Amino acid sequence: MSLQSSIQLEEALSNAQAKGLLTTRTENNRYLKISYKGTGTKISDKWNVKIYTSGSVVCNDPAILQNLIDGSFKEPDPKLRLLQIDDAGIGFPLCGVMIGVTNGERVWTDTIDVSFFQSPKFEERLYVNEFAKKGIRLLSKTSPKTHRIEICSGFINTGLRDALRNKGYDIRVVEIKGLLQDNLEQLFREYVKKETGQDLAYDPKKIRKEEIGKIYYQILDWGKEHAPHLLKSGWNSIKD
């Protein structure tokens, strides 16, 4: 990034902070110059951008960053009916990943097959495209009369997020809670039970952080012994 571009970026972020859109984050990284996240009002606290001393910039939603830089950022229009998109199972070592869409009254779901998290599809990141295809298909079932969609953070969502923006939707990256998150975790649990014959899935938000690792490896060991074909074996942490 050029010096002029870097100055423009930092000024834009500083202005956004002054308007209450962003707040700085403290991180223990000597290569990090400054880090911002949304305040959770007009910009979700899941949104973040990091500027490194090398001049490189890392942002989990570049479209919002560009809007802040060029002054085109607008807060969501509350008059538009809201749709939400979430995923479940991305951190679970067995089976595929579930995607869910809700209009606040009903939940629609589909599943990305576990083969997309195994070689060679995983290395090619085909699961991002598959997630996007399934998401667009689910949205068509909602008969959406809205251009306002909230979608959870995470790499698997990036293809769908960008595709929906190209279709004219107002997309915001947020933490999904409530109806969709609760229903999706339960439906994912039922899906895993159907695939494995065992009640193995868990909601990581309902388990203490210090216990998640132990439970994860217990399930991973079970999978290696009883259902190796259902392992997300493309992950480096699972490869032998």
Say whether pLDDT at 18 is over 50: yes
Nearest to 45 by CA among 18, 69, 21: 21
- Residues 158-186 have pLDDT tens digits of 999 999 999 989 999 999 999 999 999 99
pLDDT value of position 4? 47
Nearest to 57 by CA among 101, 117, 12, 115: 12
Average pLDDT, the chain: 92
In CATH, the number for domain 77-240 is 3.30.420
Query: What distance in Å separates the CA atoms of residue 203 and residue 157, rounded to the nearest whole number?
Result: 19
In the chain, CATH 3.30.420 covers 77-240
In the chain, CATH 3.30.310.10 covers 3-70
Structural element, H or E, at residue 107: strand 107-112
Say whether pLDDT at 3 is over 60: no
- Is the separation of the CB atoms in 64 and 78 below 8 Å? no
- Residues 55-86 have pLDDT tens digits of 999 999 999 999 999 999 998 888 888 999 99
**DSSP class of 179:** H
The arrangement of secondary structure in 3-70, i.e. its CATH architecture, is 2-Layer Sandwich (3.30)
Longest dimension (CA), the chain: 59
